[in-house]
Structure 1
């Protein structure tokens, strides 16, 4: 049976350091923690439970904006399935699309001494409020940063540009972008930037985006002012749930989708194919992204693998909510 002394010898550290690294109890550098965990994995070391106490199952922490959004639920299910195979539990926290709540949510995850973290942040470039010392971390849906170089993404900018170009090729010239607040989601910002580039490349004038809170009553969305001011022939919503709200708002104004206004969304959630007509949307690989993020985190935490960036392909799914004019 492999002993802790053998793990310490292989990692090139003291017995006390090896113990702290494996228990996540005490001050040990990230580099040394990875070395000790890799040595333990290579030697097949499993710590014995303390006398009279049950052994503690390792866990990872996952931060998502909202568990009620099917996008994040799909990713979370894949993460949990991957971790189940690896013998890890999953602890979940929500930011509710609020940057001010992220630091507290991450700290709550760290209190469970996780092997590592999978984070979907409002703004990965603004992380000063996050704890300075963190275990191996993978960003999910956020692009990699200097602090967090490990990330699993889809190209939101390119997808929005492609979706907007499709509408332009169908004859639309006045296209409105409706979104959750950009401060709460870098995905929304990237999608708007892709929309804007396509509009400008085509010699058109981009409309001022309509921003609303992500957490709110989409069924109460009021488009009357923006419709009377701009009379858009097409509307792009920054996610599918918001696209459903846009369709409802248009119908309350007595307008038909797509006869009067075309509507497109992002994410590709299943309910979008059950409405009539089916929603035109960018289908994001949420389940694949979740599984990839979990596997990458395990590789970094257990095998001291270097952080990497994986870009997973999206798919433009044409539905009945868009027409040519």
Structure 2
């Protein structure tokens, strides 16, 4: 049975039972939520239904008052703020939420999405690594459950989304640095394979550099989870001698500032630093971070409202784009006139 290809339009619960290796009665207990069934068997039945393209909206006629949420990580406050907005809107509608974290890993993303689908939610709000190739998003669409992506750009047509214009936002901030006199600007980002947002922001940096007649440097891609703890910029600074570093999010920007300080460099006197997201604690570090604020809690509320409207049949999927908000800080300044070939090594070795 596992080798058989089934047309999703003709798939029945009998086909699902055959693929899962269980009885029709077991499938019935799983899809209705009535009767005993082990967690392992429940996962097998749901996986079989998804593999066969059997619409789980049809399999689960009785959804629970639950909104499922899939995000990369709660360690980044930007996602926590969005979840707060989702939960607030869900509670006002008498709903509960279930949360999963993918750790910026496409494989975990897919597995967690399948688990969340099995909870029979009214729909899901998710931030995926790349919406154009996300198997997790494809699972939701096959299941015919309402889905809204949040933060993701280039979400496929027909899928609801709430996101800011990352590319335009970063271009605007890069233009500021160029206007201050910076010509040697680096872009440090979370790995593009883990974040379409990082890729869009780098594209905005390239746009600004090329428009100014400058050569964009290749991106410095780092792991989101590990880099939030520490980044060693020694080789980067020696090779490129930048006067400014643009980080693809605020957490990375804060880590960049710490790394520069360990190297004996001052921000913004020696190197200007910018971030992205506008998380609250970035306003309280010294120097106050120059960044772009996303209205994350509002975006979460919008996503939940859109999902509820879709689930009740009141609205078709829409793609909403709230405005980003430039947030001026003290972490940028005009570049110093200095001997770029020696500045970093001199700072690191003041006695040499």
TM-score by length of 2: 0.76
Q: 1:207 to 1:277 in 2, by over 3 A?
A: same
Tell me by how many angstroms 1:128 deviates.
3.9
Q: 1:215 to 1:148 in 2, by over 3 A?
A: farther
Q: In structure 2, what is the Cα distance between the partners aligned to 1:73 and 1:315?
A: 19
Q: 1:75 aligns to what?
A: 82
Q: Does 1:222 align with 2:229?
A: no
Conservation of the 8 A alpha-carbon contact between 2:55 and 2:144? no
SS of equivalent residue, structure 2 residue 292: strand
SS of equivalent residue, structure 1 residue 235: strand
Q: 1:135 aligns to what?
A: 145
Does 1 or 2 have the higher relative contact order (CA < 8 Å, sep 6+)? 1
Q: 1:106 aligns to what?
A: 113
Q: Does 1:164 align with 2:174?
A: yes
Q: Does 1:273 align with 2:283?
A: yes
Q: In structure 2, what is the Cα distance between the partners aligned to 1:219 and 1:251?
A: 15
SS of equivalent residue, structure 1 residue 255: coil
Which of the numbers 304, 314, 320 marks the counterpart of 2:330? 320
Which of the numbers 38, 48, 62 marks the counterpart of 2:69? 62
Any residues of structure 2 matched to 1:81-120 within 5 Å, and which?
81-120=88-127
Conservation of the 8 A alpha-carbon contact between 2:132 and 2:154? no
Aligned residues: 287
Deviation per CA, 1:261-307, whole angstroms, max 9, x where unpaired?
Answer: 00000000111111111000001110110000000000000134110
Which of the numbers 185, 194, 207 marks the counterpart of 1:197? 207
Q: Does 1:212 align with 2:219?
A: no
Q: 1:15 aligns to what?
A: none
Q: In structure 1, what is the Cα distance between the partners aligned to 2:212 and 2:134?
A: 36
Tell me by how many angstroms 1:149 deviates.
2.1
Conservation of the 8 A alpha-carbon contact between 1:219 and 1:249? no
Deviation per CA, 1:126-163, whole angstroms, max 9, x where unpaired?
Answer: 03464232410001011253365210001101001001
Q: In structure 2, what is the Cα distance between the partners aligned to 1:115 and 1:272?
A: 35
Q: In structure 1, what is the Cα distance between the partners aligned to 2:293 and 2:163?
A: 13
For structure 1, the residue ranges without an aligned partner over 5 or more in a row are: 1-19, 37-46, 48-55
Conservation of the 8 A alpha-carbon contact between 2:182 and 2:243? yes
Q: In structure 2, what is the Cα distance between the partners aligned to 1:175 and 1:283?
A: 21
Q: In structure 2, what is the Cα distance between the partners aligned to 1:87 and 1:278?
A: 40
Which of the numbers 128, 139, 144 marks the counterpart of 1:121? 128
For structure 2, the residue ranges without an aligned partner over 5 or more in a row are: 1-28, 35-45, 336-352
Conservation of the 8 A alpha-carbon contact between 2:131 and 2:156? no
Q: 1:247 to 1:173 in 2, by over 3 A?
A: same
SS of equivalent residue, structure 2 residue 274: strand
Q: Greater CA deviation, 140-149 or 109-118?
A: 140-149
Q: 1:294 aligns to what?
A: 304
Q: In structure 2, what is the Cα distance between the partners aligned to 1:185 and 1:115?
A: 26
Q: 1:169 to 1:110 in 2, by over 3 A?
A: same
SS of equivalent residue, structure 1 residue 125: coil
Conservation of the 8 A alpha-carbon contact between 2:70 and 2:102? yes
Q: What is the alpha-carbon root mean square deviation over aligned residues?
A: 2.5
